[in-house]
Structure 1
Amino acid sequence: MKRFIEFHNLLIITCLCVCVHFYSLPMHAQDHQTLRSQLKEATEVLACYPDSVDLRLKKAALNLQLEQWQYAKDEYDQVLRSHPDNIAGLYYRAYANQQLGRYNFARLDYENLLKVVPGHFSAQLGLALLNQKDKHHTEAMNQINRLVNQFPDSAVAYAARAGMEQEQGMIELAVYDYTEALKRDADNSDYLLNRVELWLKLGRKQRAKADLDRLVELGVPRPALKKWYRQL
């Protein structure tokens, strides 16, 4: 199991947008090889059509999924030089900048995106998570609370707030928010796995076992969960 995975990594793959303190299953080696093959093909095609924004964005997205942050940022830089209001360019460059530790540049990209598209869900989420990572906890929590209020049907918003609360040691509040997220996305294995971790911290082993058993029902191999089953 991979610890402290960013919510944004899920958003890149699923087009959600993270993050914070999040447990998830790792990428398989086969998936990694597939991405590398796709990147090689995308690079070759881009060389033939270097002015294509769509092709450059496609290559940059593959760079991100392979955690090649600087390469991705370089591609987004090129897109934004000629198209400074490109939504995907601003959003994903912000994420790449965050991974590179360039928090002020990431914050600027999110803010510029929100000028182009006020109320943009992913940009608001990204900015809140960035502030959490940069230890601007009060600002981050205010932003995520606003997001939950704006999008009360969003499982992602609740889960993101739960992750912040979990990171800050607010365990009961995090359980509540993961539970709200699961009401909206009942089969999400990441939310379930994080709630297992919280149940165990609270000593509620029966509830932890119920969530673990649910994960097995959803197709997660039981051996992959042995770390948590051993704590029951």
Structure 2
Amino acid sequence: MDYKKVTVFLFFSFFTLWLSAQSYQELSGKAVDYIEKDSLLQAEKLLQEALKLEPKNPHNALLFSNLGLVQRRLGRYEDATDSYTFALNFAPLAVPILLNRAAIYLEQGLLDKAYVDYCQVTDVDKANKEALLMRAYIYMIRRDYKAARIDYDRLLELDPQSYSGRLGLATLEQKEGKFRESLDLLNKLIAEFPDDAMLYVARADVEREMDHNDLALIDLEEAIKLAPASADAYLLRGDIYLAQKRKSQAKQDYEKAISLGVPPSELHEQLKQCK
């Protein structure tokens, strides 16, 4: 007899019987405990059982939302979006649920769906900073810079010290060719956050566009010193070296970026030019 298989069978049999004896409140409460302990599969099972017990309970908005959280942490994004959608069937204007679903849509590259959710959030809460920031980001990708500026301005009106808002606005100024305005914003951010490598990369990119490559290389050297695993810094420095015909140095930086996780296919053309 395979005692290991028998033990596993008995465990799941007792677990199933135990679940059936629990009430809706007990199951949902214990599921939260499991989430806090990061025991996600157990939490998922409990939440699903609670939902089966009372499928029409209005509190299922919270249970489906928790289920979405669990599935998102497990990396099962489609299941998570389904759970958040079910939650919204019970509470259509629940801002936290809309924000969570929008974030998953963004992670999946579903910008149009994320945009709809962020618009719904701002319809309910015109001062929601997360929705304004992420909608501005979507506008930037769409190159709708006028709409992006409206959202960034509104965000900074609500929170003048917003790091993400100011960095986003600096990027917008750069996209519109307003390099001095972009540098002013980045210089102020670097004065406040001198150890933030990403800010040096951002400033170097503006300096590169202004043909101030020497300054850009100094900033990238500082960025790499602060964050040796910054693939973006190596990529940008590689681009500058390549433009300067310093092919061997460019190749080294591109290869370093690949070692840090950049797909080789994205740098195929650049590496060809390094030969």
Q: TM-score, normalised by structure 1?
A: 0.73
1:64 aligned residue? 106
The 2-side partners of 1:222 and 1:45 are apart by: 40
The alignment partner of 1:118 has SS state of coil
TM-score, normalised to structure 2's length?
0.63
1:151 paired with 2:193, answer: yes
Q: What's 1:116 paired with?
A: 158
User: Residues 227 and 89 of structure 1: is their aligned pair in 2 closer, same or farther, counting only changes over 3 Å?
Assistant: same
Tell whether the 8 Å contact from 1:69 to 1:100 is kept in structure 2 after alignment. no
What is the rounded CA distance, in whole Å, between the counterparts of 2:112 and 2:143 in structure 1? 11
Q: 1 CA distance for matches of 2:135 and 2:261?
A: 34
Write 1 or 2 for the structure with the bigger share of helix. Answer: 2
1:65 corresponds to which letter in structure 2?
E
Match of 1:137 in 2: 179
Shift of 1:161: 1.2
CA distance 1:209–1:133, shift in 2 (3 Å): closer
* 1:81 lines up with 2:119 in the alignment: no
Q: For the Cα contact (< 8 Å) 2:203–2:219, is it kept in 1?
A: yes
| Aligned counterpart in structure 2 of residue 128 of structure 1, from 165, 170, 173 | 170
Between the aligned partners of 2:98 and 2:264, the Cα distance in structure 1 is 40
Q: Quick one: distance in 2 between partners of 1:221 and 1:102?
A: 28
Per the TM alignment, residue 108 of structure 1 is displaced from its structure 2 partner at its CA by: 2.2
Please tell me whether the aligned partners of residues 232 and 257 of structure 2 are also in contact (alpha carbons under 8 angstroms): no
Instruction: Give the drift of 1:133.
Output: 1.2
- CA drift at 1:89: 1.2
d(CA) in 1 for partners of 2:261, 2:141: 31
Q: Which residue of 1 aligns with 2:88?
A: 46
**Which residue does the alignment assign to 1:175?**
217
In structure 2, the residue matched to 1:103 is: 145
Aligned to 1:195: 237
Task: Tell me: higher relative CO, structure 1 or 2? Use CA pairs within 8 A at least 6 residues apart.
Answer: 1
Shift of 1:213: 4.3
8 Å Cα contact 1:64-1:96 kept in structure 2: no
Aligned-pair CA distance for 1:115: 2.4
Between the aligned residues of both structures, percent identity stands at 33
Q: Distance in 2 between matches of 1:97 and 1:223?
A: 27
Report the alpha carbon displacement of residue 88 of structure 1 after superposing the two structures with TM: 0.6
Closer, same or farther in 2 for the Cα pair 1:38/1:176, shift >3 Å?
A: farther
1:3-37 deviation digits (Å, cap 9, x = unpaired): xxxxxxxxxxxxxxxxxxxxxxxxxxxxxx96555
Residues in 2 aligned to 1:216 and 1:36: alpha-carbon distance in whole angstroms: 29
Deviation at residue 92 of structure 1 after TM alignment: 0.9
Aligned partner (choices 234, 248, 253) of residue 211 of structure 1:
253
- Indicate the RMSD between aligned Cα atoms, in angstroms: 2.7
Q: Which has the higher Rg, Structure 1 or Structure 2?
A: 2
Whichever residue aligns with residue 192 of structure 2, its letter is Q
**Residue identity in the other structure for 2:104:** L
| Structure 1 counterpart SS, 2:190 | helix
CA offsets, 1:12-63, max 9 Å, x none?
Answer: xxxxxxxxxxxxxxxxxxxxx9655543443333333323211100111233
